[in-house]
Amino acid sequence: MPGVTRVPLSVRRLCPAVSRSRSRGSSKLTDAPDLPGAFLERPIAHRALHSAAGGVAENSMAAIEAALGAGYGIEVDLQLSADGEAMVFHDDDLKRLTGHKGAVRARTADELAALPLKAGGGTIPRLSDLLDRVNGHVPLLIEIKDQTGQLGPAVGPLEERTCALLKHYDGPVALMSFNPHSVARCAEFAPAIPRGLVTCRFGRRDFLKVPMARLRELQPLPDVDRVGAAFVSHDRRDLSNPALAPLKARGMPLLCWTVRSAAEEAAARQVADNITFEGYRPEPPAA
């Protein structure tokens, strides 16, 4: 899972449409929707239920099918194609997952959808195809990937396309991003869809392109209320972070990433309300 120049995260700079939707004197969006309870009832498969050893690539349609068959919730990542389509893919570069060189955003949706995933399981999916297949059967958690690597205000096209595709989606769905500006734009484009922040300790090692001043801004998690977040999805290695305590105290759902064993799950559930997992099979929900 795992700007520009320093940009103050005032409400008006973050998103003018968001600031207009606040009640006078309030620091929280008045119309921020809650996270559906379905997101807390079953473990969530990180990048769907993938297994490179089993020939099922992350974020592939085969991984989606596997998660649906097992009854898990599904988490996926989105990148933007050259022609403005939302594609289900984690990296901004094609090399690791396809063997091809170049940026995702340098190719059209048709070109990307024709590229086989190295680990198997098909080609790069469009979000529209994924939505048709999931069709509300399990909770769907969608992470919008930062398009500049700066966690700054250069956002909009991917958020707008994603929200347009979700306009008529019928089922539990939520949007999230590391970038608060991205979440704020989602509030503008789709105010009725629950949204959250992906968070961590925001250390230099995980964000090499982001200016240190920007990382220091993000470390105390100051934007939860400003963007109308319904939940936080936090690094499971950092669940003792004191910034989480006031959120938990007021009942905000806390998800975590990425759990890779039963032992890690047991530790994470001491704090988190649900897990995003990979590499093992947690106890599925009761039928």
Instruction: Give residue-wise pLDDT tens across range 206-265.
Output: 999 999 999 999 999 999 999 999 999 999 999 999 999 999 999 999 999 999 999 999
Does pLDDT of 2 surpass 70?
no
Global pTM value: 0.90
The confidence score (pLDDT) of residue 16 equals: 34
The confidence score (pLDDT) of residue 36 equals: 98
The confidence score (pLDDT) of residue 9 equals: 33
Task: Map residue 46 onto helix, strand or coil.
Answer: strand
Does pLDDT of 155 surpass 60?
yes
Does pLDDT of 15 surpass 70?
no
Say whether the peptide bond before residue 258 is cis (omega within 30 degrees of 0).
yes
Does pLDDT of 89 surpass 80?
yes
Instruction: Give residue-wise pLDDT tens across range 261-274.
Output: 999 999 999 999 99
Mean of the pLDDT values across residues 14-28? Answer: 37
Going by their DSSP bridges, the two strands 73-80 and 44-46 should be labelled as parallel
CA atoms of 172 and 253, how far apart (whole Å)? 15
* CA nearest to 69, candidates 49, 91, 87, 85: 49
pLDDT above 70: percentage of residues in the chain: 88
Residues 75 and 45: beta-carbon distance below 8 Å: yes
Fold for domain 35-277? TIM Barrel (3.20.20)
The full set of domain ranges for the chain reads 35-277
Question: For the stretch 49-68, what's the b/e string if a residue is b when 16 or more beta carbons lie within 10 angstroms of its beta carbon?
Answer: bbbeeeebbbbbbbbbbbbb
Does pLDDT of 37 surpass 60?
yes
Average pLDDT, the chain: 91
The confidence score (pLDDT) of residue 162 equals: 99
Mean of the pLDDT values across residues 76-97? Answer: 99
Mean of the pLDDT values across residues 48-74? Answer: 98
The confidence score (pLDDT) of residue 14 equals: 44
